[in-house]
Amino acid sequence: MSEDLLRLEGVHTHIGQYHILQGVDLAVPKGGITVLLGRNGAGKTTTLRTIMGLWHASRGTVRFAGEDITQARTPEIACAGISYVPESMGIFSDLTVRENLFLAARGVKSFAEMDEARLEWIFGFFGALKRFWNQPAGTLSGGQKQMVAIARAIVEPRKLLLIDEPTKGLAPAIIQGMVAAFRELKQTETILLVEQNFSFVCALGDTVAVMDGGRIVHSGAMADLAGDLDLQHRLLGLSLDSHQ
Amino acid sequence: MTAVPQTLPQDSPLAKVRVDVLPLLLVPVLALLMLPLVGSFPTWVTLTVAGLAMGMMVFMMASGLTLIFGLMDVLNFGHGAFVSVGAFTATMILLPMKAWVEAESVWMNLSVVGLAILLAMLVTGLLGWAFERIIIRPVYGLHLKQILITMGGMIVAEQLIHVIWGAEQIPLQLPTTFRGAFIFGDAALEKYRLIAVGVGLAVFVTMFLVLNRTKVGLLIRAGVENGEMVEALGYRIRRLFVGVFMAGSALAGLGGVMWGLYKETLTAAIGGEMTVLVFIVIIIGGLGSVGGCFIGAMMVALVANYAGFLVPKVALVSDILLMVAVLLWRPQGLYPVAKR
């Protein structure tokens, strides 16, 4: 995991008059899960949206697979191989689960052309989707909607998944299931995962970066952070023990 | 890629799919309720068919506007310009080919009207493309400016019509075989109104199929709900915007031809006069909803017809009263479109 798939160097992002990202340096190695931690308002979501081109960096560079995508448009970035699962999940509630996944499969023109083996692989993680295949996504529970959002991101092979707080608002039982799903997913995918639920990600993450005030204030191996209570306290104002 | 065991709880409760049928019942219930009030069955049939025909023509004009608003969040008060331009463009076929219009052959009449519709839709579609690029694009996300500049565009379009086709009214002759009525018992059903119902239904079914059975249609529906996510999936929503704007303008052009033939007289204000009615229809239906727009158009036209027969003074404000009643019942319209 030495090769960086994604690299942000000195990235600044302004939203209106607000200076949100103030020089973010972040490297996401190829393979496994990189976790982006930080308090509310630290700039985690803005970092993902800047990578995705939904907000453009005012300074600095974003390089993906060796290409400069700093000023690329969102569709171009998506076509370059990055999937995005926003905090709001972004599912199309009027469309069925099948139609949501169909739209994410850019390479196919009809439902019949969808890769059945790939779908079965996804149903292996998220079996509920098979049961509710033809249900409008808006009628699903919060956990099931999150399954749709993640399934949509992996319905075709992608180089990198950006996932923003997938456990937010979900019941503990669902989160446990999601841990198992991510553990399987990271065998084949590269994931940049934004989370606030430390106990969820410390079991999953390979590398970690911590944000504060629009900057990366720590980066390293997740195992090192998980094993250092003082560092957790200093960076996150918490310890893993308090979450168990 | 081997399947792994299911890892998430499968027994989460699923909200039942609630098919919202109440708005679908509005049109038949209204028609049936009016039957005893109207008193005479033949009169009721005539009023109802006339109302449905007018509703279909209003739907043609409004359906594009509701999609434009839903997908692009654009308040286009210049939509009526496309109605006017469509109707006037049709005269470029219908007037020179008067012999075909006056011929007693259904096929010649259908051909000449079909040709006029094709040309009108082509011209208004291209005009829509130019309108989007020049007038709409600089004001995306700025509602007040959209209202001002599109109303300005409407005024400019009306003046251009005066320049190109003259300031005088232009009589538009209905093709010979489209005139007259079918008589069923004591009920007279005008042929042209039945044609309008047929064309309106064809437009509705086509839109329904495109929006539900094609990838482009699904993208439009998805874009109405969350355009940003459509882009994040790798689709250029700007192209969808332009395509929908052109299609919406072409549909307004079609509505203009049908409405012009119905009125048999054209003025440059023919589209502008319909603007308020068209907005009432899309507000009743739920901004962005084609199905809601269809029901809204039928309701507005039927209520206007029944009110015109039963209490003529109320007919002047029937569309406003209907809108108030619907919004008191459903403040987001009959079929509100989910927005992120």
User: How far is the C-alpha of A62 from the C-alpha of A224, rounded, in Å?
Assistant: 27
Taking 50 as the threshold, does the pLDDT of residue B275 lie above it?
A: yes
Contact between A173 and B233 using a beta-carbon 8 Å cutoff: no
* Nearest-neighbour CA in chain B from A197: distance (Å): 18
Q: Phi/psi at B225 (nearest 5 deg)?
A: -85, -45
Contact B9 A138 (CB under 8 A): no
Are the beta carbons of A37 and A211 closer than 8 angstroms? yes
A135 reaches B (C-beta below 8 A): yes
Residue A107: the pLDDT is 87
Q: What is the CA radius of gyration of chain A?
A: 18
**Cα distance between residue B74 and residue B153, in whole Å:** 14
Residue B2 scores a pLDDT above 50? no
Q: What is the pLDDT of residue A148?
A: 94
Give ∠ CA B337-B338-B339 in degrees, rounded to 5.
110
- Interface contact B229, partner A, CB < 8 A: yes
Q: Which residue in B17, B231, B233 has the most chain A C-beta atoms within 10 A of its own C-beta, making it the best mutation to test that interface?
A: B233
When mean pLDDT is compared across A102-106, A164-168, B91-95, the lowest value belongs to: A164-168
* More confident call, A119 vs B7: A119
Rounded to a whole number of angstroms, the distance from the CA of A28 to the nearest CA of chain B is 20
CB within 8 Å of chain B, chain A residues 147-166: 147, 152
Specify whether the CB–CB gap between B135 and B62 falls below 8 A. no
CB contact under 8 A, A184 and B236: no
What's the complex ipTM? Answer: 0.90
On the question of pLDDT at B3 being above 60, the answer is no
Written as one letter, the residue type at A27 is A
pLDDT value for A120: 92
Summarize pLDDT for B18-67 with one digit per residue, the tens.
668 899 999 999 999 999 999 999 999 999 999 999 999 999 999 989 98
Give the closest residue to A158 by CA, choosing from A178, A185, A137: A185
Residues of B in contact with A173 (CB under 8 A): 9
Chain A: closest CA distance from residue B299 (Å): 24
Residues β-bridged to residue B188 = B183
Considering CB atoms only, which of A52, A121, A131 is closest to B232? A52
The angle subtended at Cα A22 by Cα A17 and Cα A27, nearest 5°, is 140
Weakest mean pLDDT among A35-39, A205-209, A229-233 = A229-233
Q: What is the mean pLDDT of chain A?
A: 89
Q: How far from B148 is each of B82, B136, B264, B277, B278, CA to CA, in Å?
A: 17, 11, 31, 19, 18
Residues of B within 8 A of A88 (CB-CB) are 340
Measured between alpha carbons, how far apart are the two ends of chain B, in Å? 34
Indicate yes or no: CB of B234 within 8 angstroms of CB of A75.
Answer: yes
Residue B116 scores a pLDDT above 90: yes
Q: Which of A204, A169, A90 is nearest to B222 (CA)?
A: A90
Backbone phi, psi, residue B21, to 5°: -95, -15
- Sorted by where each starts, the structural domains of chain A and their CATH numbers stand as 4-81+159-243 (3.40.50.300), 93-157 (no CATH)
pLDDT at B20: 81
In this structure, what token pair is assigned to residue B327? Answer: 């919004």
Instruction: Please tell me the predicted confidence (pLDDT) of residue B77.
Output: 93
Handedness of CA B274, B278, B279, B281 (dihedral sign): positive
Per-residue DSSP letter, A93: T
Contacts of residue A109 in chain B, CB cutoff 8 Å? 215
The CA distance from B274 to B57, in Å, is 11
pLDDT interval class at B338 (50, 70, 90): low
Residue B150 to residues A214, B57, B63, B137, Cα–Cα distance (Å): 41, 22, 18, 11
Average pLDDT, chain B: 90
In the numeric block, the tokens 């960076």 are attached to A235
Tokens of A225: 């952070």
Would you say B212 and B134 are in contact if contact means Cβ atoms under 8 Å apart? no
- The pLDDT, as a whole number, for residue B69 is 86
User: What confidence tens digit (pLDDT) does each residue in A51-75 have?
Assistant: 999 999 999 999 999 999 999 999 9
Amino acid B61 reads: M
pLDDT number for residue A186: 87
**DSSP code of residue B264:** S
Tell whether the model's pLDDT for residue B5 goes beyond 50.
Answer: no
What are A8's two structure tokens? 């942000």
- The predicted structure's pLDDT at residue B84: 96
What is the distance between the alpha carbons of residues A82 and B233, in angstroms, rounded to a whole number?
9
Whole-number pLDDT of residue A237: 72
What pLDDT was estimated at residue A44?
95
pLDDT over threshold 80, residue A177: no
Whether residue A166 contacts residue A85, with contact meaning beta carbons closer than 8 Å, is answered with yes
Q: What percent of chain A has pLDDT over 90?
A: 62
Contact B6 A124 (CB under 8 A): yes
Size of interface A-B (CB pairs under 8 A): 124
Q: Taking CB atoms and an 8 Å limit, are A74 and B2 in contact across chains?
A: no
Measured distance between the N- and C-terminal CA atoms of chain A, rounded to whole angstroms: 30
Mean pLDDT of B323-332: 95
pLDDT at B38: 93
Most B CBs within 10 A among A55, A79, A87, A92, hence the mutation to make, goes to A92
pLDDT at B10: 47
Per-residue pLDDT, B6? 46
User: Which positions in chain B touch A141 (Cβ < 8 Å)?
Assistant: 12-15
Contact between chains at A143 and B337 (C-beta distance less than 8 A): no
A88-96 mean pLDDT: 92
CB contact (8 A) between residue A106 and residue B233: yes
Q: Give, as one character, the DSSP assignment of residue A58.
A: S
Average pLDDT over residues A143-155: 92
Closest chain A CA to residue B223: A92
Per-residue pLDDT at A56? 94
- Per-residue pLDDT reduced to its tens digit, B133-163: 999 989 988 889 999 999 999 999 999 999 9
Please check whether residue A131 touches B, CB under 8 A. yes
- Give kind and range of the element (H or E) at residue A151: helix A142-154
Residue among B3, B9, B237 whose CB faces A173 most closely? B9
Average pLDDT over residues B303-323: 94
pLDDT at B1: 45
| Residue A85 distance to chain B (closest CA, Å) | 9
Q: Which residues of B touch A147 (CB under 8 A)?
A: 8
Helix axes B191-213, B290-310, angle to 10 degrees: 160
SS3 A19: strand
Give me the torsion for CA of B32, B36, B40, B44, rounded to 10°: -30
| B222-241 confidence digits (pLDDT tens) | 988 899 999 999 999 888 88
pLDDT at B18 (0 to 100)? 61
CA distance B257 to B193: 14
| Torsion on CA atoms B71, B77, B79, B80, rounded to nearest 10 | 160
CB within 8 Å: B234 and A79: yes
Tell me the average pLDDT across A129-143: 90
Contact A140 B230 (CB under 8 A): no
Residue B235: list chain A partners with CB under 8 A: 75, 103, 106
Q: What count of residues does chain A have?
A: 244
What average pLDDT does this structure show over B312-316? Answer: 90
Q: How do residues A77-86 score in pLDDT, each as one tens digit?
A: 999 999 999 9
Q: What percent of chain A has pLDDT over 70?
A: 96
Q: Mean pLDDT over residues A135-157, rounded?
A: 92
Q: Which residues of chain A lie closer than 8 angstroms to B6, CB-CB?
A: 123-127
**Which of B11, B12, B18 has the highest number of chain A CBs within 10 A, making it the mutation to test binding with A?**
B12
Helix (H, G, I), strand (E, B) or coil at B115: helix
| Collapsed DSSP state (helix, strand, coil) of residue A41 | coil
- Other Cβ atoms within 10 Å of B86 Cβ, number: 34
What is the tally of helices (H) and strands (E) in chain B? Answer: 13, 4
Question: Of the candidates B18, B221, B232, which has its C-beta nearest A95's C-beta?
Answer: B221
Q: Which of A92, A99, A125 sits opposite B7 (nearest CB)?
A: A125
Do B137 and B153 meet the contact criterion of CB atoms below 8 Å apart? no
Of the pLDDT bands very low, low, confident and very high (cuts 50, 70, 90), residue B209 is very high
Determine, for residues A136 and B17 on separate chains, whether the beta-carbon distance falls below 8 Å. yes
CB B49 within 8 A of CB B302: no
Which letter does DSSP use for residue A96 in this model? B
